Chain A
Amino acid sequence: YRSDPPERSNLAAVQHVLLVLSGKGGVGKSTVATELALALRLAGKRVGILDVDLCGPSIPRMFRVQDSAVHQCDSGWVPVFAHQDKSISLMSIGFLLEKPDDAVVWRGPKKNALIKQFVSDVAWGELDFLIVDTPPGTSDEHISTVEALRPHKPLGAILVTTPQAVSVGDVRRELTFCKKTGLRVLGIVENMSGFVCPHCSECTNIFSKGGGEELAKHARVPFLGSVPLDPQLSQSLEDGRDFIQEFPKSSAFPALAHIAQQILDGTSPQSS
């Protein structure tokens, strides 16, 4: 393994760091983080995902690597590779648990210590994008992650919501968090935006409609798109399969691809 001189930061060769936030749980942060990583990979980028959800780490299973272990090298922890071609690398507390059902019942200070380690001690190597998946809320994990990432000047944050007011209400608070911590908001994604019945193709707004777009307008941040509910997407995530490769005809695919494209456009040389 290439060993870096100790004074070089493990994030030095990471081009762009972006966070996926919400305020609300269960809106699809990990899903969007995973799909964004897969879409960026398809565009030829090297991507890493850092999962700082210590109580509910969803990322390992989404890539079917939940049984992997983490190894050490001179520069720190070696991330787990999700593809044979090593184009996606992952770090999550999920890899450090002895048993998958072990609850991580830690108070803030212990969580903060691990997050600091996750940010500085993972030997990511060269990455185009490091996506940071977070738990819901505006607490220890979020404060610590932003503080630890500050020297590395993150690109910004994508905020995920579902359409209904109850979700949007929490995401508004997350926007305040971003403002207060100086984290640039790249845009809002409205997830679970409509369900197309696989039997008759009727679209039902199970979780209401439009809240994400309205919030983006109200907060004057970019609206990155609406992603509909697609059970094929849920199924892929359950099985740890590559939805982007397997279901390019899915109703969710254009939305996810468009979100990735906007991120890429925002980081292309002409856009600065």
Chain B
Amino acid sequence: AEAAELRARLRSVKHTVLVLSGKGGVGKSTFSALLARGLAAHDDKQVALLDIDICGPSVPRMMGLEGEQVHQSGSGWSPVYVEENLGVMSVGFLLSSPDDAVIWRGPKKNGLIKQFLRDVDWGEVDYLIIDTPPGTSDEHLSIVQYLSAARVDGAVIITTPQEVSLQDVRKEINFCRKVKLPIIGVVENMSGFICPKCKNESQVFPPTTGGAEKMCQNLNISLLGKVPLDPQIGKSCDKGQSFLAEVPESPATSSYRSIIQRIQEYCDLQHSQEEKIM
């Protein structure tokens, strides 16, 4: 009966993309927020951004929605809308103070994730983007389990160039394979820094083992793109603004846009393949 409820709710979602890492702090939420914004730039698309990082919900701030609260309606929980075609849900909206800590063990976290999927009235959605916490634990197992009632296009995996990140990301890739979650591809974030003064490039997080490129080659996974470090990215996130809109001329913006394009193409391909089957 539960699975039927979830299936019913998610029937109106055309494409679902999970944003994963294994490593914390590589830019999952940053990427999720920009992916959602990028997709919502097309007025005819309805985009939903679901943040299932229960302990460290970064999405509300990044979307400029800090302090917003969730409202109930007859049809369930209403997402908080950034634009008419971009709705957001996060545990952040359920907390009354920025100091409130969600100190929950696994089962309680799973319960909230299920509620998010079952009770949020997203309406008709073209893209559901799900931002996750780092790791391979309750949240990840649960979201994959609950989404088995729907169709998941795949996962985008975020990393930074250095081995300390890659070693966790390989575990995440293994997790995806174990639970049969298709991998759309890998994004290498924080990939090089151009000094604003002398314009020389430095590797702040040196790719001592070949970076994401080598890892993707070895594991036969698509490298969707590399995004360089730009201090404006962090600033925009802190201010809840869209980096893509604020700094359109940054090399990081072009990288993000091309990656978003590739993800969109991947999803469209899934759709057309399904239509062929039907």
Contact = CB atoms under 8 A, between A and B. Distances in A.
B174 interface: yes
A23 B203 contact: no
Given A200-B198, A229-B204, A164 B175 contact: no
Given A165-B238, A195-B193, A200-B195, A100 B167 contact: yes
A198 B202 contact: yes
A26 B32 CA distance: 17
Contacts of A177: 101, 103
A107 to B, nearest CB: 5
Nearest to A142: B103
Interface of B: 22-26, 29, 54-56, 58, 61-62, 98-107, 109, 133-138, 140-141, 160, 162-165, 167-168, 170-175, 178, 193, 195-198, 200, 202-206, 208-209, 229, 231, 234-235, 237-238
A164 B172 CA distance: 26
B101 A55 contact: no
Nearest to B142: A107
A105 B142 CA distance: 11
Interface in A99-141: 100-109, 111-112, 135-140
B104 A139 contact: yes
Interface stretch (A7-15, A39-47, A231-239): A231-239
Interface centre among B100, B104, B171, B173 (most CB of A within 10 A): B171
Interface of A: 23-27, 30, 55-56, 58, 61-62, 100-109, 111-112, 135-140, 142-143, 162, 164-167, 169-170, 172-177, 180-181, 195, 197-200, 202, 204-208, 229, 231, 234-235, 237-239
B243 to A, nearest CB: 12
A53 to B, nearest CB: 9
A183 to B, nearest CB: 12
Contacts of A174: 101
Contacts of B197: 197, 200, 202
Contact of A170 (B56, B138, B164, B229): B56
Nearest to B133: A137
The 3 closest A-B pairs by CB, nearest first: A26-B25, A25-B24, A108-B106
Nearest to B98: A172
B171 A137 contact: no
Contacts of B165: 26
A239 B163 CA distance: 9
A149 to B, nearest CB: 16
Given A138-B55, A176-B99, A164 B195 contact: no
A169 B101 contact: no
Nearest to A238: B208
B106 A61 contact: no
Given A56-B168, A164-B237, A176-B101, A103 B178 contact: yes
B137 A238 contact: no
A236 to B, nearest CB: 10
7 contacts: A102-B171, A136-B25, A136-B56, A143-B105, A170-B56, A199-B202, A208-B234
A208 B235 contact: yes
Contacts of A234: 162, 204-206
Given A135-B24, A138-B102, A234-B204, A56 B135 contact: yes
B84 to A, nearest CB: 26
Contact of B162 (A56, A111, A112, A238): A238
A62 to B, nearest CB: 8
B103 A143 contact: yes
B107 A24 contact: no
Contact of B22 (A27, A103, A165, A173): A103
Contacts of A101: 167, 170-171, 173-174
